[in-house]
Amino acid sequence: MLNEHPLTGHIGAEIGGLDLRQPISQDLAGRLRDALARHQVLFFRDQHLSLDQLKALTGIFGPIMRLPYVAPLDGEPEVIRVLKEADERGGVFGGDWHTDFSFLERPPAGSALSADIVPAFGGDTVWASQAAAWDALSTPLQDLLAGRNAIHVGKPYGVRWAPPEAERSGASIQMTRGDPQADVERAHPAVLRNPLTGRAALFLNPLYVVRIEGLSEAESRPILDQIQRHATRPEFCCRFRWSPGTVAIWDNLFTQHYAVNDYHGHRRLMHRTTFAGPAPADLAATRRREPNLAAGLQVTAATPAGSSVLRPRQ
């Protein structure tokens, strides 16, 4: 068992007692993958990893992948520098609720973020458990979404939409915009099931999802807005205060995240890597509940360990 300290009742755990600069054994790698599936985001303080160590850590969760549309670090095609300078006043990379690149056929399975320079205050990151949000979603909305696709479009990177200056990621990050490939509509299941925990989770996000399949954009909008308000309720979130040397790893398919842009006048520098995993289509949750649960048990809550609390149906 790892030295796990859950941050909240639903998502996030600090893992203590590890030096990730040392080689990671197969056994430890397996326990880290298991912990990530249960907690959805893991934090390791005081690691101060080199880029090679960060890439080695990332690679135990899945094949390391190169992100499209974001210029990588010189000579490090798999590493992104997430930087906001003290004199930048615009948006930040990731400064809205999103799931990374969900419009790709195979969106990233997860990412690692390593903190080098953190502001004196602010600059936190917030993650929302989409499994906890699914568990607490009303039955009619679960019925609507289970087994149904949602349509994702990479519009911030494509030709349909240019974000206002204030909403763009910082000047220090070079993004490629206007690529028509990003405007290809991609259907992904609206609900995924985690193969390790068996838990279902919402797979929707406001940055890239334009409609629910079978409904028009106008019909979808109020439903998606309502679901998004629900999906990011504080009860389903953890907010992390960074310190230099800290590394976070998150499960991209089962969470949304938000970089809080509240530190103008201060420099913040992180390095980010990304790993690949299964296509969402292979994780589709086609039923609202698994048959054995539907037989008379109802998921009413989820523990930090990810094991659902089951109660007989009323």
Considering the rule CB under 6 A, would residue 257 count as an interface residue with ligand SIN?
A: yes
Considering the rule CB under 6 A, would residue 93 count as an interface residue with ligand SIN?
A: yes
Q: How far apart are CA 50 and CA 74, in angstroms?
A: 15
Considering the rule CB under 6 A, would residue 94 count as an interface residue with ligand SIN?
A: yes
Helix (H) or strand (E) holding 226: helix 217-231
- Taking the complex as a whole, the smallest distance from the CB of residue 119 to ligand SIN amounts, in Å, to 11
Local structure of 297: helix, strand or coil: strand
SS3 of 138-151: the string is CHHHHHHHCCCEEE
Considering the rule CB under 6 A, would residue 99 count as an interface residue with ligand SIN?
A: no
Q: How far apart are CA 181 and CA 179, in angstroms?
A: 5
Considering the rule CB under 6 A, would residue 275 count as an interface residue with ligand SIN?
A: no
Q: Is the dihedral of CA 303, 308, 312, 314 positive or negative?
A: positive
31 is catalytic: no
Q: Shortest CA distance to 177 belongs to which of 188, 189, 165?
A: 165
Catalytic residue, chosen from 257, 267, 268, 271, is: 257
Angstrom CA distances, 146 to 61, 189, 231, 262, 290, stand at 27, 8, 15, 37, 11
Q: Is the dihedral of CA 221, 226, 227, 229 positive or negative?
A: positive
Catalytic residue, chosen from 98, 168, 188, 193, is: 98
Q: Which one among 32, 270, 284, 299 touches ligand SIN, defined by CB under 6 A?
A: 270
272 is catalytic: yes
Q: Which one among 82, 83, 118, 192 touches ligand SIN, defined by CB under 6 A?
A: 82
Considering the rule CB under 6 A, would residue 306 count as an interface residue with ligand SIN?
A: no
- Taking the complex as a whole, the smallest distance from the CB of residue 166 to ligand SIN amounts, in Å, to 17
Considering the rule CB under 6 A, would residue 259 count as an interface residue with ligand SIN?
A: yes
Q: Is the dihedral of CA 26, 31, 37, 43 positive or negative?
A: negative
Considering the rule CB under 6 A, would residue 170 count as an interface residue with ligand SIN?
A: no
- Taking the complex as a whole, the smallest distance from the CB of residue 22 to ligand SIN amounts, in Å, to 26
- Of 212 and 253, CB closest to ligand SIN: 253
Q: Which one among 47, 99, 114, 125 touches ligand SIN, defined by CB under 6 A?
A: 125
Angstrom CA distances, 57 to 9, 61, 120, 289, stand at 26, 8, 27, 34
Residues at the site binding ligand SIN, with contacts judged by CB under 6 A: 82, 93-94, 113, 125, 257, 259, 270, 272
Enzyme catalytic residues: 98, 100, 257, 272
